């Protein structure tokens, strides 16, 4: 079972807005223990009970799901491996999710794993053909640079800041709502941080 949501370790709430007839609530105590029992049972959660689970800057996937897909494609496997095991997935998620949350969202997100069984396969690599024993350089995936990650995030942050500043312009300094003032300060700080990271990438 895989839970990718805010406070996933406590299974308390979804990342997006819930439908009107849904109620955000934690699962009854002991449910995780029941789910992990038996052969082939394991529970993966995207964050600890007191943490948020973050979406990547492009809003296409969450940080956790992005790296889960990487793991299922063999990111933590060795040349010649034919199967992705539970251990492979845990190893990859344990390293990459926390790193991406810090670099992309300046936040802490620590995946949690709970299993009552030994390691077992969860996916076949390349339809069971396995990874090439000697990868050819022309077929290796291109490494995404920090600049390629930061540039679109900065563009999006600047657009958001422009919208907020336009809204703020309609108010006097004394009339501006507190929440708008806070959003402006946070967005300006986000833009400044991203600009600094982009400058570092160029240096």
Q: Give the residue, 118 or 100, on which the prediction is more confident.
A: 100
In whole angstroms, give the CA distance from residue 165 to residue 107: 25
Q: Which helix (H) or strand (E) holds 44?
A: strand 42-45
- Residue 12 pLDDT class (50, 70, 90 cuts): very low
Nearest Cα to 50, choosing from 66, 28, 23, 26?
26
pLDDT higher for 144 or 113?
113
41-91 per-position pLDDT tens digit: 788 888 887 788 899 998 889 999 999 999 999 998 988 888 998 889 988
pLDDT number for residue 13:
42
Across the chain, mean pLDDT equals 77
- The CATH H-level (homologous superfamily) assignment of domain 2-139 is Caspase-like (3.30.70.1470)
Element (H, E) at 131: none
Q: Does the pLDDT of residue 107 top 80, yes or no?
A: yes
Which residue from 60, 68, 49 is spatially nearest to 152, judged by alpha carbons?
60
The pTM assigned to this predicted structure is 0.54
Our measurement of the distance from residue 29's CA atom to the centroid of its chain's CA atoms, rounded to an integer in Å, reads: 26
Look at residue 136 in the predicted model and tell me its pLDDT.
52
Domain spans in the chain, listed from the N-terminal domain onward: 2-139, 146-202
């Amino acid at each position: 079972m895989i839970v990718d949501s805010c406070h996933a370790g406590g299974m308390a709430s979804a990342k997006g807005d819930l439908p009107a007839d849904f109620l955000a609530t934690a699962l009854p105590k002991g449910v995780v223990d029941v789910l992990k029992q038996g052969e082939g049972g394991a529970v993966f959660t995207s964050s600890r009970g007191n943490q948020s689970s973050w979406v990547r800057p492009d809003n296409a996937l969450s940080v956790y799901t992005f790296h889960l897909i990487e793991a299922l494609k063999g990111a933590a496997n060795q040349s010649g491996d034919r199967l992705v095991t539970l251990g492979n997935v845990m190893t990859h998620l344990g390293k990459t999710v926390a790193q991406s949350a810090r670099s992309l969202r300046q936040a802490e997100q620590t995946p949690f794993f709970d299993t009552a069984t030994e390691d077992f396969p969860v996916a076949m690599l390349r339809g069971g053909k396995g990874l090439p024993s000697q990868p050819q350089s022309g077929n290796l995936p291109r490494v995404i640079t920090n600049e390629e990650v930061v540039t679109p995030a900065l563009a999006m942050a600047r657009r958001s800041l422009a919208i907020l500043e336009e809204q703020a312009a309609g108010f006097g300094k004394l009339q501006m709502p507190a929440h708008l003032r806070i959003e402006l300060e946070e967005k300006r700080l986000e833009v400044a941080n991203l600009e600094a990271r982009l400058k570092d990438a160029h240096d």
